[in-house]
Amino acid sequence: MRIGVLALQGAFREHIDQLARLSVDAVEVRLPKHLAGVDALVIPGGESTTIRKLMTDYKLIGPIGSAIKGGLPVLGTCAGMIVCAKRVDGEEVPGIGGLDVELRRNAFGRQVDSFEADVDVPILGTQPFHGVFIRAPVVESVQPEVKILAQLKDGRIVAVRQGAVVGIAFHPELTDDDRFHRYFLKLVKEAHPVTSAAW
């Protein structure tokens, strides 16, 4: 299994380290040619406007969007989830798509309002996941094909899945809990049933 990690800005190194601890080959993606041979892609947290601009500058928007339409599994965390969303702050966002949701950026406030909270994530078991929220978005609405994976106690949606694309508002890579990465790797194997037996 070979997982690409978008390495333009943000917490890409932490995702690579988390995947390495799971004995997964993770490679940095900066150009379209780096997508060749990857079985999935992680889009990390960071600054979504900067990440989107760099993706445009390096001509990654089209190739990643086409790969998603072709079934490439993608994990987007925080800013990565924003990049995957079709609507952000009430506006259609041209780009890679993947998540037919509407997001609100910086939903909890500015950097100083960052916080940590235990989040119930039923797909990961009964033990809550300790979420690190840094200028995090929330999902305000989802289309019927989108599955809600996690909500805060006040009902705000903070993790979703559509097909093989997973979006998380917080930063699982900043914790020692690897359950979200393991869940994503399971989706990758399901998306590649012919080759997964060799992994």
Domain limits of the chain? 2-198
Q: Tell me whether residue 140 is one of the annotated catalytic residues.
A: no
Q: What percent of the chain has pLDDT over 70?
A: 96
Catalytic one among 15, 34, 84, 171?
171
Q: Tell me whether residue 173 is one of the annotated catalytic residues.
A: yes
Catalytic one among 78, 84, 181, 192?
78
pTM for this entry: 0.94
- What element of type H or E holds 13? helix 12-21
Would you identify the CATH topology of the domain 2-198? Rossmann fold (3.40.50)
Residue 141 to residue 118: CA distance in whole angstroms: 22
Mind listing the pLDDT tens digit for each residue in 98-150?
A: 999 999 998 987 776 689 999 999 999 999 999 999 999 999 999 999 999 99
Q: Tell me whether residue 78 is one of the annotated catalytic residues.
A: yes
pLDDT beneath 50, residues of the chain: none
Q: What is the pLDDT of residue 196?
A: 62
